[in-house]
A = this chain, B = another copy of it.
Amino acid sequence: MDLKITKYSRQRDIILRILRSTKCHPTADWIYEKVKKEIPNISLGTVYRNLNFLADKGKIRRFSFGGTTAQFDGDLRDHYHIRCDWCKRIEDVPHISTRISCQEIESLTGYRIHSLNLFFSGICPECQRKGEQ
């Protein structure tokens, strides 16, 4: 919750800036390669540590779409995701008009709900054009 109680770190700052400046949903390794251009001797462990830290504090999102590696999203605005089953690309679904009643889910499950994640999978336009697989 409170990022204030932590000390400043240039590494964390840059990691957060890079994540926020991309539209893709990168892996720790992807971010590592980017940060290395600014801090050549940063270590992958630092990237993981800070990504997990930021995710735990709710400053970024961490998820994985069936794949084996975690992916991160610096965009905290309400939005959803779609993945192509063939080329595996992930894109934002910017806005949908339907409202899902979290209150209904809360009374149905007894949970206090923090977040709602909606993701679709299917075939992207490009793969549709290219045809089978």
Tell me whether chain A's interface is mostly helix, strand or loop, or mixed: mixed
Which residues of chain B come closer than 8 Å to A70, judged between CB atoms? Answer: 66, 68
- Within the complex, the shortest CB–CB distance from A44 to chain B, in Å, comes to 15
Which residues of chain B come closer than 8 Å to A110, judged between CB atoms? Answer: 124-125, 128
- Within the complex, the shortest CB–CB distance from A93 to chain B, in Å, comes to 6
Q: A117-B118, A119-B117 are in contact. Are A125 and B98 (CB under 8 A)?
A: no
- Within the complex, the shortest CB–CB distance from A86 to chain B, in Å, comes to 10
Q: A98-B98, A105-B96 are in contact. Are A115 and B122 (CB under 8 A)?
A: yes
- Complex Cα spacing A124 to B114, Å: 11
Q: Is the CB of B108 within 8 A of A94?
A: yes
